[in-house]
Amino acid sequence: MLPLKLICERKNIRKDGTSVVFIQYCYSAENRTILNTEIAVPPAFWNKKTGSISKDLPAGYGDYKELNEELKRLYRLAEDIVEFAIKKNLPDRGKFVKETFSPRFDLMTLTAETEAAKLVALNSCALNRDLFHQLDDYIQSKEKNVAPSTVGIFRQMKEHLFAFQTFRKEPIKFESLDYGFYEAFKDYLTFEHVQVRRKEVIKGLKVNTVGKTVKQLRTFVKDRIRRKIIAPIDLTEFQICEEEADAVYLSETEIQQILDADLSGSPHLAKYRDLFVFGCLTGLRFSDFSQIKASDVRDRKLFKKQEKSESWVVIPLKQVAFQIFTGRFKQQIPRISNPDLNYYIKEVGRMAGIDTSISFSHKRGGKTIAVTKPKYEWITSHTCRRSFCTNEFLAGTPVQLIMKISGHKKEKSFYRYIRISAEEAANKIEEIWRERENSVIIGKNSSRKRQSSHQQSPNCS
């Protein structure tokens, strides 16, 4: 039996709206592995019944016929590798297939010598110090302990490394990881890396994307060092570059505008509007506030274990949030995907009049790129979390208490979420000054009253 199946799951949607098509191999009743075809399409254009890409696939993602032919070729390749493993009675067949399969694998190389080399590698992961082998092992070890979005970041880092290896035409080994490698890798990501699955060719990544890749590479290498799989490597020069993210927050007035928006002509937008407002009032990530159950709400408080950090938070629900959950949602959050919320909430924002022009700039390929759009075009699901933190901060809620709700463990991370303009900062300082002046005046008046009372009292000596 060859239990192979092509899958393209909605729960693994990436930032560009696509999901990778995998070949799922169930090599026992309890165990399975997935093989990356490196083909990705929006899940909406994946036909689950036929296991193929729909003919309605937009041309920007490729020709559906050619992609389906390539998937058939890869499926047959996976079949041949499985049959080889069964015929040779190899131990840990699932791992062998996982290690062997690649869209570029040449079946003719599957000789006795290859088999022997594979068997040695399969006996112990630690014996195989190939960087990409260890990276696969690292990702697999994290899949059960972190959120799918975090696993996606690990995989993106692997894709960037593999693309750099192809670009420089030289294998990347642990021994390669010195300052020279860091500089070359950073320059490649900044100026040369070509983003695929887009209608236009874009060279170079944003500064924060480069920094995120370097950060995850450092984390991976340190993990392998701690496990004594590789010798210690000095990573102190692997600096994480950052720039301020292009993100907005909505004031309490703007959130109310969205809540009050007239959607009578577009009733299908109501559930997106309500879920977005609920997120703004709880401060949770989308992966958390979109998965709340009736049992999570008790005594007007929300008890939630955060998916990303696996830490518990307790959030008192404001009247509006409680009414949305119990009244509009009937204690059952509607099934809404993150891409769909990001798409439709922009339309709600437009209808609510959140249309102030907002400009952001970022560096890509060493150039500063400025973008100006109406504010509603900048709104995403993550705006909820930023809005909650910023509004509570402006309202004077102690930072440590906000962090208890938001789940931030470090103030440095928390303050990245605070999005206030220079004018709002000035207004906040003026408010603090007025309170300070009033307290001084009250203190002086109280002192004068005590002095006057003391002077008028009779001498009891």
Q: Which CATH number does the domain 129-243 belong to among 3.90.550.10, 1.10.150.130, 2.60.40.420, 3.40.50.300? A: 1.10.150.130
Where is mean pLDDT largest: 82-86, 337-341, 401-405?
Answer: 337-341
Model confidence at 87, in pLDDT bands (50, 70, 90)? confident
Lowest-pLDDT range of 162-171, 290-299, 384-393, 403-412 = 403-412
* pLDDT tens digit sequence for 225-236: 998 888 899 998
- Determine the residue type at 434: R
Q: Reduced to 3 states, what is the DSSP secondary structure of residue 397? A: coil
φ, ψ of residue 343 to 5 degrees: the values are -75, -50
Q: Domain residues of the chain, as ranges? A: 1-123, 129-243, 252-422
Residues present in the chain in total: 461
Number of neighbouring beta carbons within 10 Å of residue 68: 20
Where is mean pLDDT largest: 23-37, 152-166, 367-381, 414-428?
Answer: 152-166
- Determine the residue type at 209: T
Model confidence at 440, in pLDDT bands (50, 70, 90)? low
* pLDDT tens digit sequence for 144-197: 777 777 888 899 999 999 999 999 999 999 999 999 999 999 999 988 888 755
DSSP 303-366: EEE-TTT--EEEEEPPHHHHHIIIIISTT------HHHHHHHHHHHHHHTT---EEEEEEEETT
Q: Reduced to 3 states, what is the DSSP secondary structure of residue 130? A: coil
pLDDT in the model for residue 1: 44
Question: For the CA atoms of the chain, what is the radius of gyration?
Answer: 28
Tell me the percentage of the chain whose pLDDT exceeds 90: 44
| Residue 120 in this model has a pLDDT that exceeds 50 | no
| Residue 438 in this model has a pLDDT that exceeds 70 | yes
* pLDDT tens digit sequence for 198-251: 566 778 888 888 999 999 999 999 999 998 888 899 998 898 887 666 578 899
- Classify burial at 292, counting beta carbons within 10 Å of its beta carbon; exposed 0-12, middle 13-18, buried 19 or more: buried
Q: Which CATH number does the domain 252-422 belong to among 1.10.443.10, 3.40.50.970, 3.40.640.10, 1.10.1060.10? A: 1.10.443.10
